[in-house]
Amino acid sequence: MEKFGKILVVDDNADVLFTINNQLAPRCEWVRVAYTPERALMLCKKYKPDVVLMDMNFTRDAVSGEEGFQLLRDMLKIDKTLAVIMMTAYSDTPKVVRAIKAGATDFLPKPWERGQLMTMLSSAMRLKGLGCEESTARAQSTGTSHADTEIIGESESMQQLLTLAREVAKTDANILILGENGTGKDVLARYIYRHSLRNSKPFVGIDLGAVPETLFEGELFGYERGAFTGALSSKAGRMESANGGTLFLDEIGNLRTEIQAKLLTCIEKRQCSRLGSTKVVPIDVRLICATNIDIHRAVAEGTFRQDLLYRINTIELRVPPLRERITDIPLLAKHFTNIYARKYSKNITGLSAELLKRLKEYSWPGNVRELQHLIERGVILCKKSVIGINDLPADSFNRPPSANPEDTLDLETVERISIERALARCEGNVSRASKLLGITRFMLYRKMEKYGL
């Protein structure tokens, strides 16, 4: 299990501080918490944390984030190498851009997934330069096992996939993982990393679908102080941080064509340079990429470079959707039940036969991630030792993609169905779907996470 260093958490919500402290304490050198910006600065000066998890909004101003921006500036004056992850429930693309440009390492929207938090901390520690031995963040939303982070699945399709994954893991070949949203592409990437010859070197991941387009280049290649307005300090990019190890580019289909060209050059020349710098940094990374779009169709349509596809897909792996691995549903359901029973301190031993039958009959448009969210709701609402159908919300299995939004006036249902329709029409291409819906890709990812899509 990867160990994090010294973590400072800043939030005016006692529940948030309690939750994060409980999640991080077993894996950190120490965790300190602060309710106010003033106490946060005092603790920062006194204890010199490695990473700060900091809310963007406090009591005086619950929406704009100005207190958070000021606190970020003050902290970086104390320690310009400090890794700061900003948190807020009122996120939007301009705030994210401003936070990253002001020196934040990453941006964590509330509510967060535990696996998402651990992955961000792992990346922050690496960018801090602390040389963590291995990135083994638990991506629970895609079905990893707590015991050994292996993928849960006994179906024939999953066993064939894992056999091939173990074989290609032993090579240095670049790998492209294809699959629908929520199928577990990021977990497969970590599985390959753990079985590779580079498993003692860094694993650095970045979700390109969650990064605003204006930050793609800086996040991938890094930047020097003054490279653009708001670049108050130098920052290593993810490619540089992964040197010697594995770089995981999730949702690579979202890269703009001009950034695709620069990435191709870096791969071919095995070197890169930060924004605002002429210094060339040698790069030795094993690339694992993933996307939920039809990447070959994107090449045919001219939105993805064919020469880049040749470079990243020496080996292609496809993660089957949950509807194609029905026999794995009871295993995954039991796994998530155990996780959330422990989390919520409930004596729940399993699921009823009726519920398991319904789970197997459902089409699972949101795949493993949707199953996880459904089981969590069931654990929370269940008052007995076995979760039954009546313990779940009434609309849990009423989500056909063809449903008519005009049949309901419930805003959340209308929004969810509209998103499902847009994704179906765009064949899973999040960039095209976001344009169709008239929202940013970052906002679409937030809503997809909300509805388990």
Do residues 301 and 355 both lie within one domain?
no
- Domain CATH code at residue 416: 1.10.10
- Domain CATH code at residue 124: 3.40.50.2300
Burial track 155-170 (b if 16+ CB lie within 10 A, e otherwise)? bebbeebbeebeebbe
Q: Check if the beta carbon of residue 137 is closer than 8 Å to that of residue 102.
A: no
Alpha carbons 4 and 435: distance in angstroms, whole number: 39
**Conformational region of residue 301, where left means phi above 0, alpha means psi within -120 to 50, and beta covers everything else:** alpha
Residue 89's pLDDT band (boundaries 50, 70, 90)?
low
The bridge status of strand 235-236 relative to strand 222-223 is antiparallel
- Give tens-digit pLDDT for 244-285: 999 999 989 888 888 899 899 999 999 888 888 888 889 999
Instruction: State which residues form the domain around 18.
Output: 4-128
Average pLDDT over residues 326-350: 90
Tell me the CB-side half-sphere exposure of residue 181, using CA atoms within 13 A.
Answer: 22
Alpha carbons 449 and 453: distance in angstroms, whole number: 6
Q: Is 400 inside a domain boundary?
A: no
- Give tens-digit pLDDT for 398-439: 654 434 444 555 666 777 778 877 877 776 677 778 888 888
Do residues 268 and 413 both lie within one domain?
no
Q: Is 303 inside a domain boundary?
A: yes
Alpha carbons 219 and 274: distance in angstroms, whole number: 10
Q: Is 136 inside a domain boundary?
A: no
Do residues 259 and 381 both lie within one domain?
no
Do residues 147 and 273 both lie within one domain?
yes
Do residues 168 and 300 both lie within one domain?
yes
Q: Is 422 inside a domain boundary?
A: yes
Do residues 89 and 165 both lie within one domain?
no
pLDDT at 96 over 60: yes
Per-residue model confidence (pLDDT) at position 145: 35
Q: Is 135 inside a domain boundary?
A: no
What Å distances lie between residue 226 and 80, 101, 394, CA to CA?
14, 10, 54
Neighbour tally for 415: CB within 10 Å: 15
Q: Check if the beta carbon of residue 80 is closer than 8 Å to that of residue 112.
A: no
Alpha carbons 170 and 133: distance in angstroms, whole number: 19
pLDDT at 6 over 60: yes
Do residues 161 and 249 both lie within one domain?
yes
Q: Is 134 inside a domain boundary?
A: no
Do residues 186 and 277 both lie within one domain?
yes
Q: Which residues pair with 34 in a beta bridge?
A: 10
Do residues 194 and 291 both lie within one domain?
yes
